[in-house]
Amino acid sequence: MINQNTNYWKENLKYVGILLSIWFLVSFGFSILLKDFLDNFSFGGFKLGFWFAQQGSMYVFVILIFIYVHLINRLDKKYGFDKKK
């Protein structure tokens, strides 16, 4: 049981690390570091760097929340934590 819990949390932390890395890349990388490059393109009539800084990073964050919920539900089923007692 201890090994099962350890493996569960290792996978959970792996998911969190990957999703936070994506969010960091979008919110910091696209909005700040790559802003000047992305401003050469437009999205919805706005410069893409501006769009990521104002809207895109929030949309990506909400999408990542739904992805995390899906991954954790699948992880719970894998380790048998989805069953009610």
Q: What is the pLDDT of residues 16-28, one digit of tens each?
A: 999 999 999 988 8
Q: Do 10 and 77 form a contact (C-beta atoms < 8 A)? A: no
Which pLDDT value is given to residue 23?
Answer: 92
Tell me which residue range forms the domain holding 29: 10-79
Q: H or E stretch including 43?
A: strand 42-43
Asked if residue 84 is part of any domain, the answer here is: no
Q: Is the dihedral of CA 72, 73, 76, 77 positive or negative?
A: negative
**Is residue 64 within 8 Å of residue 23, measured between CB atoms?**
yes
In a domain, 42, yes or no: yes
**pLDDT higher than 80, residue 1:** no
In the prediction, which pLDDT does 85 show?
A: 56
Q: Which residues contact 76 (CB under 8 A, 6 or more apart)?
A: 82
Q: Does residue 2 form part of some domain?
A: no
60 located within any domain: yes
Q: Is the pLDDT of residue 49 over 80?
A: yes
Residue 3 forms part of a structural domain: no
Q: Is residue 85 part of a domain?
A: no
Q: Is position 53 within any domain?
A: yes
pLDDT score at 76: 93
Average per-residue pLDDT for the chain: 89
